[in-house]
Amino acid sequence: MAIKNRNLLESFNRAASGVIYCLRTQRNFRIHVFTAAVVLLLSFWFHLSKGEFLLVLTAIFLVLITEMLNTAVEVTIDLITDRYHPLAAIAKNLAAGAVILAAVFAVITGYLVFFPKIDPLIPKVIFTLLDSPVYLSLFALALVFLAVLFLKTRTGKGLPFSGGMPSGHAALGFAAATIIALLSGSGLVAGLALFLAFLLAESRVETKIHTPVEALLGGLLGIFLTLLIFQLLPRLR
């Protein structure tokens, strides 16, 4: 039996409870919120026009709204039945499809708004960091691999590339993506490389080989060690 809201304040409280529920229980929603926060910071950094900022906000809220509706559909179906039914599966797939479409719209929006602003900066960043021979790439990957082995030895959990802290796949994936970003000189190539590294880390989490924290720390380890090698060693020559 539905409970009616007694006043406007109670309506807001129940609505806020729905948002909090998603934050607490839905990993994808938390990822969307974190991504939205990063995008908003970039919006202020690049001083977007009102039209551009409105387009970015539209994309952000569209993704968050569809994710909440997807959660509502899933919870409702699970309440009605705990057995598999083809119509229930279709309903869940449709709701998930809405989230995918919203995410695609957000990616296209981000590309159209931010890429023209980021692309001119990439060569400056690359030429600032990149004054070093190609062998630094192999050295950076080897250092990341050894760092992963050392940390896993210290924690005593997981094999070199199977479980434990940090994720070796994520570390090497983001190290390779960072190298590609530094050597390619192309914003598009760098973005694709980082996206593929993210998918690699995500796959380790989805298969429950690693926790999100292990994947995150592995990715950060790969990025920062690679940047350290490309930045520090040329200065020591």
Residue 165 DSSP SS3: coil
Burial of 178 (0-12, 13-18, 19+ CB in 10 A): buried
Provide DSSP, 168-193. Answer: HHHHHHHHHHHHHHHHH--HHHHHHH
Distance CA 32, CA 63 (A): 7
Give me the catalytic one of 67, 202, 206, 214: 67
Active-site residue, 67 included: yes
Distance CA 225, CA 203 (A): 22
Up-side HSE of residue 11: CA atoms within 13 Å toward CB? 5
Are the CB atoms for 55 and 105 separated by under 8 Å? no
Distance CA 175, CA 98 (A): 33
Distance CA 137, CA 72 (A): 47
| 57 backbone φψ class: left, alpha, beta (φ>0; ψ -120 to 50) | alpha
Query: Which residues are designated catalytic?
Result: 67
